Amino acid sequence: MAVDELDTRILRLLLEQPRTSVREYARVLGVARGTLQARLDRMEREGVITGTGPSLSPAALGHPVLAFVHIEVTQGHLDDVGDALAAVPEIVEAFSITGGGDLLARVVGRDNAHLEDVIQKLISLPGVVRTRTEVALRERVPFRLLPLVESVGRAARP
């Protein structure tokens, strides 16, 4: 999907001021509300905008320990293990990967003992051969998309 300069300005506002109304976004950008809504609808339809919910902190929800778990899977069982991972509430993300392992999961825990319990649960899943865990010490760059949006916007300028 081609994203033009107006789209990037809209995305910037969504990221910087997520709780603002469509009417206010249109006013700030100097475009008609209908134009703005059509752009938002198109970007949602084309998968640029994938959600509008709040960002939540696992730490504030009582799960301050963050780990990245590499999971090696028996051949032919990737989908089954992926489905089983979805049933573990402490897994907040999981990806199929290349390199060391078949899956990479972002896992949260209440403390190190709880993290160990979650990892033991993962190891016991049918199709899991082994895991390798790396515990995060400190977040250095929080999840962000604004620099990418700005880069795309610069590239879209004539």
The 10s digit of each residue's pLDDT in 109-129 is 999 999 999 999 999 999 999
Beta strands in the chain (DSSP E): 65-73, 91-96, 103-109, 128-135
Mean pLDDT throughout 147-152?
Answer: 91
Per-residue pLDDT, 1: 64
| 3 has a pLDDT exceeding 90 | no
Reported as a single tens digit per residue, the pLDDT across 78-105 is 999 999 999 999 999 999 999 888 999 9
Q: Residue 77, SS3?
A: coil
Model confidence, pTM: 0.86
**How is the beta sheet containing 91-96 ordered, strand by strand?**
91-96, 103-109, 65-73, 128-135
Helix, strand or coil, per DSSP, at residue 52: coil
